[in-house]
Structure 1
Amino acid sequence: MIVGAVAGVLRRFSPAQNSLYPRCPIYEVVHLKCPGCGGTRALAALVQGRFIEAMHLNALTTLLLPIAAAYSFQWYWRFARSGVDRWPPVSHAAVYAALAASSIFTVLRNLPLRLFQ
């Protein structure tokens, strides 16, 4: 129900056209895009079926969404079967890999475009 509500809000109130959503404080202060910049707009694009646009807005969010969904489903499955209300454990390697991917993504998205031409 929560996912449906969030999808409905994103579909009804586009982040690109509404001031309902907060602005990134990191971008406002240092004018560099953090790993989450564009994530809400990417989710709104996904809700409307525009995958390419979502990748352009925030590839990290778009690519990690299925992993987050699978992890959430695993929690729900454990909770429904045994009533255990704890998140499944995450290995240290997975945490370090996510931090590394996030750091690399942040550096790459803030490089001047002329380096890639």
Structure 2
Amino acid sequence: MGAGAVPGRPRTRPGHLVADKGDSSRAIQAYLRRRGISATIPERVDQAAGRARRDSRGGRPPSFDPKVHKRRNVVERCFNQLKHWRGIATRYDETVASCQAAITLAAVLMWM
């Protein structure tokens, strides 16, 4: 380890965030912009109506790519399938290795 190096896991920042409508608040969008993280978040109906009500002062809608957001569904379905395994859903495993083994086993059995 060189001089001035900090031990531990290096900090990482996601390049892109895909979220649902519950995370579409103006504060979250501003936070992501400040951190330089692009986002794919659908806009809620009330937010779109409020923007339209403010006319030109309402700003433009946030960018949204439906193809990217559609892939999010695949990940959520996988998590939901894994939750059907009681040991994984209740987190009974005491070690990281046994938890990873249970998730791997469940994923292989789901895949087959």
Higher strand share: 2
- Rg comparison, structure with higher value: 2
TM over 0.5: no
Higher helix share: 1
TM-score (structure 2 length as normaliser): 0.31
Q: Tell me which of the two structures has the higher relative contact order, counting C-alpha pairs closer than 8 angstroms and 6 or more residues apart.
A: 1
TM-score (structure 1 length as normaliser): 0.30
